[in-house]
A and B are shown apart, each in its own frame.
Chain A
């Protein structure tokens, strides 16, 4: 399968504090990549780099010719300001279609149809007219996932999609993401704290560690020293 993104010797820093150095990895079509690592290891920073929100100090992020920004869906970590934003679910999901509008000011029938399809896809039809701010955390995540699917269907970035969700809703979320990957062949890049689930679902693991990061298949990860340390001994990261 074709490579979508290839990263060569990336380095990121904030005001002279290095966060990531000399990191190389590739994302190919159909992959389910989990980016794991301790708090502050640079997962969000790397995601911002991949999304073009932060420029790397060194190295290159190469997008393949067939991958455009407009093919990318993104489920960001929610900001506090968003949690009480006055907007209906439909308005939020529909806003995912904006990147295909260009300068044209209003959404077309087709945009609305696609928004509805994704709303149905995630089983949130009955929430459609509700206000985003009145929903539970899990419902809000589904809405944002529907919006992400409206934006692009080739590659989906998810930044800690299950943080703050209860175990049942978490499992449900993982199941939906897995289905998108297997049934609809959407490439997944997910930032996660939950190494156990990462290993369960992902095809590839990128474990960020300032000294020595790991990138490879899940199988190799389990056998690697880093994987052994965090996973083999059954030890999980417990910090949020």
Chain B
């Protein structure tokens, strides 16, 4: 078994998947806690669809670096969606649904008209093998940036997650820190899209956060547990998908689902004893 796993990582593409995946899992799990607690999970989901649209359109126009094209598009969409959900005039969730289905439709049309049908599948559901060397470097640089920013803004992120109005009222620039959260989320989504696929990347954001909230009761431990759960589920999913030739993204989600079930069970048990 162990030797099989060692052999598995003899492949260059598995090493690339390992590096990219661990970094993306870390970023997604940290931001996920704030998104879930702020009731912004749907923003993450909407962004992944926008990311798909941007990727597909960029490829259709023959762009050599569709991932890099998607970055600014998704960042703009993130600020826009944040605005919408803070505005009582528009129904935020309806607006997000409109934008994500719209972006999906545009992406699929662009891809099939230009005959990119094989790529569509990998954009939608991800592909480990599709990660080449430049992708991994791009992923690593962005992930490192996200992680450093997260640590730097950690206390601010906690404050605007727990109580935005209090932060604002007492003189903290809550709007700016919300933008920081939106920016980091947008980057995480783009970085993870190639591996997880745009349909499944938001699961990487949401599952570990929900799991760790079931079992931990301090914010810092929630964050750390979320990161640990995310990386462990990623590794398990990656290894399982290799041995059973299953799609990687989907395998990771299934591992997360199983862990969530266990955590819910453990969580209720622990609560009862307290």
Contacts and interface: CB of A to CB of B under 8 A. Distances in A.
A associates with B: yes
A68 B218 contact: no
Nearest to A105: B152
Contacts of A85: 37, 162
Given A86-B219, A87-B218, A98 B156 contact: yes
Interface in A96-112: 96, 98-99, 101, 105-107
Contacts of B155: 95, 98, 101, 105-107
A92 B163 CA distance: 10
Given A85-B162, A95-B155, A95-B158, A152 B219 contact: no
Nearest to A100: B171
A170 to B, nearest CB: 22
Contacts of B165: 48, 51, 53, 74, 76
A134 interface: yes
A58 interface: no
Contacts of B152: 105
Contact of A72 (B162, B171, B274): B171
A123 interface: no
B153 A98 contact: no
Interface string A49-72: 001110000000000000011101
Contact of B162 (A15, A82, A130): A82
Contacts of B220: 91
A81 interface: yes
A79 to B, nearest CB: 8
Interface string B35-79: 001110000000000000000000000000000000000000000
A134 B270 CA distance: 13
Q: Say whether chain B's binding surface is mostly helix, strand, loop, or mixed.
A: helix
Q: Bin the interface of chain B by size.
A: 20 to 34
A51 B219 CA distance: 27
B153 to A, nearest CB: 7
A69 B169 CA distance: 7
B158 A91 contact: yes
Nearest to A131: B217
B153 A147 contact: no
Contacts of A69: 169-171
B169 A133 contact: no
A229 to B, nearest CB: 32
Interface in B210-232: 213, 216-220, 222
A148 B163 CA distance: 12
Question: Interface centre among B39, B168, B274, by most A CB within 10 Å?
Answer: B168
A30 interface: no
Interface string B154-166: 1110110011011
B167 interface: yes
A105 B166 CA distance: 19
A72 B170 contact: yes
Question: Interface centre among A68, A87, A88, A92, by most B CB within 10 Å?
Answer: A87
A215 interface: no
B168 A88 contact: no
B169 A88 contact: no
Given A87-B158, A91-B218, A92-B162, 5 more contacts: A81-B37, A85-B37, A87-B219, A133-B217, A152-B170
A-B residue pairs, 4 tightest by C-beta: A131-B217, A69-B171, A51-B169, A151-B170
Interface of B: 37-39, 89, 151-156, 158-159, 162-163, 165-172, 213, 216-220, 222, 274
27 contacts: A51-B165, A52-B169, A53-B165, A69-B169, A74-B165, A76-B163, A76-B165, A81-B38, A81-B39, A86-B218, A87-B162, A91-B218, A91-B219, A92-B162, A95-B155, A95-B162, A95-B163, A96-B170, A98-B155, A98-B156, A98-B159, A99-B172, A105-B151, A105-B152, A105-B153, A134-B217, A147-B166
